[in-house]
Amino acid sequence: MSYHKPVLLSQSVDSLEIRDNGIYVDMTYGGGGHSREILKKLGSKGKLIAFDQDLDTQRNIIDDERLFFFRQNNIFLMQTLEYLNVKKVDGILADLGVSSHQLDKKSRGFSFQHGHRLDMRMNQKQNFDAVELINSYSEDELSNLFFLNGDLKNSKKIAKKICVERKNKKIVMTNHLNFVLDTFFSAKTKNSFLARVYQSIRIEVNKELEFLKEILIQSKKLLSKNGIISIITYHSAEDRLVKRFFKNGCFDDEPVKDQFGNPLNPFKLKFQFLKPSELELKLNTRSRSAKLRSAMKI
């Protein structure tokens, strides 16, 4: 748990309604907290397939013959299931966002604390990082990602300030980026503002929204009848995608319909969403923006 304190642990695992000998997928293994709880509920013939592309998760792999761990991006879910000769799964769980370990290990460049190189790669073998993004994206591209990924209303001004500064000196370190942005926040708003900026950059570096869409599309094909998908989101951009997909079976405002105008949504909502309890919020402040959404394949 020192690697990452799992958010909404009991609620998310309970939402899967674990079948004794079912097949389940943990899309975001991290510290193994959610996987450990799933394994507790699985029978001897059950299977848990887990993914994480972060090399640091190696230390957290649980020694259990029912666990099949893959150190790769979870968009390879369908390909991996074919490799395992698994046609359908009974449940999929994804805890999106960034782990406590990634935030706390300053050299990973996820945190806005001073004195570290901007990085933010969840896959350390990936070449594209936050430094390249900040210094190569156009002003419009930066503005769009700050607006869409961070809900920052002054995204155009933020992007312009960065572009002006990088002409003088390449932005490489966290303290340099923070200095460039210091006119946009006060001492009171510093943490919340920088958190949104860094979140916006991290989402783009790791193509998180694109990969989330792919996960959801694959889930529609791979879940068995009455199979359940549960996803924990942390910001509006990803939560909006999950909400629409569960509601409409697509990413549009309206569901896909047949020739007679009947909705073709393959999911049934289990509940609108769940949030952490007051106790969990006190024990883990990083859970404050979390929402759990869950749906059943019909």
Say if CB 202 and CB 194 are below 8 A apart. Answer: no
d(CA 50, CA 74): 8
Joined together, the tokens standing for residue 162 give 């960065």
DSSP alpha helix (H) spans, the chain: 9-15, 33-41, 77-83, 100-104, 130-136, 139-150, 155-168, 174-180, 190-205, 208-222, 236-248, 278-283
199: left (phi over 0), alpha (psi -120 to 50) or beta: alpha
> Distance between CA atoms of 164 and 16, rounded to whole angstroms?
49
Spatial CB neighbours of 169, under 8 Å, sequence gap ≥ 6: 176
Taking the domain 9-100+209-297, which CATH number applies? Answer: 3.40.50.150
pLDDT at 3: 57
Confidence (pLDDT) at 57 = 82
Specify the CATH superfamily of domain 127-205: Putative methyltransferase TM0872, insert domain (1.10.150.170)
Rg of the chain on CA atoms, in Å: 20
Residue type, 185: F
pLDDT the model gives residue 21: 96
Instruction: Calculate the CA dihedral of residues 92, 253, 211, 195 and round it to 10 degrees.
Output: -100
pLDDT at 258: 81
For the chain of 298 residues, list the mean pLDDT of each consecutive stretch of 10: 76 98 96 95 98 86 96 95 97 85 65 84 91 98 96 97 98 96 95 94 95 96 97 94 95 84 89 96 89 97
pLDDT at 176: 96
Spatial neighbors of 3 by CB under 8 A, at least 6 apart, are 30, 31, 32, 56, 57, 59, 60, 99, 100, 101
3-state secondary structure string across 88-111: CEEEEEEECCCCHHHHHCHHHCCC
Locus of tokens 């393959």: 266
Beta-carbon count within 10 A of 96 CB = 22
Query: Residues spanned by CATH 3.40.50.150 within the chain?
Result: 9-100+209-297
Q: Which two tokens stand for residue 196?
A: 């949104």
Q: Which residues, other chains included, contact 248 with Cβ-Cβ below 8 Å and sequence gap of 6+?
A: 254, 255, 256, 263, 265
| Per-residue pLDDT at 242 | 97
d(CA 6, CA 4) in angstroms, rounded, equals: 6
According to DSSP, residue 226 is labeled E
Model pLDDT, residue 255: 82
